[in-house]
Amino acid sequence: AEKVRFRKYMADSHWGLRFYKYRTCIRCHPKQARNLHRVRAKITCRQCHGEEPIAGNSHYNSSMQPRRRYILVCAKCHKGSSASFATYVIHEPIPIAKTTQKAFPLLFYCVWAMVVIAVGTFAAFLPHTFLWGLREFLPDSIIFGFKNFLSKKRKQDEKD
- pLDDT tens per residue across span 7-49: 555 556 666 666 666 666 767 777 766 666 665 566 666 666 6
For the cut 50, the answer to whether the pLDDT of residue 1 exceeds it is no
111: amino acid identity, one letter: V
More confident residue, 156 or 18: 156
Domain of residue 147, residue span: 111-159
Say if CB 20 and CB 69 are below 8 A apart. no
Say if CB 15 and CB 53 are below 8 A apart. yes
User: Is residue 77 located within the same domain as residue 125?
Assistant: no
Q: Would you say the pTM of this structure is higher than 0.85?
A: no
60 domain residue, yes or no: yes
102 domain residue, yes or no: no
Start-to-end CA span in the chain (Å): 80
User: Is residue 28 located within the same domain as residue 70?
Assistant: yes
> How far is the CA of 75 from the CAs of 33, 69, 86, 112, in angstroms?
22, 9, 9, 35
Question: Which residues touch 35 (CB under 8 Å, ≥6 apart)?
Answer: 90, 91, 92
pLDDT at site 126: 96
Q: In total, how many domains does the chain have?
A: 2
pLDDT at site 103: 79
User: Is residue 47 located within the same domain as residue 77?
Assistant: yes
For the cut 50, the answer to whether the pLDDT of residue 96 exceeds it is yes
Cα 23 from chain centroid? 27
User: Is residue 10 located within the same domain as residue 86?
Assistant: yes
> How far is the CA of 73 from the CAs of 12, 25, 47, 67, in angstroms?
18, 18, 8, 11
Share of the chain above pLDDT 90, in %: 14
135 domain residue, yes or no: yes
Pick from 92, 121, 149: which residue ends a domain?
Answer: 92
45 domain residue, yes or no: yes
60-64, 112-116, 124-128, 150-154, range with the lowest pLDDT: 60-64
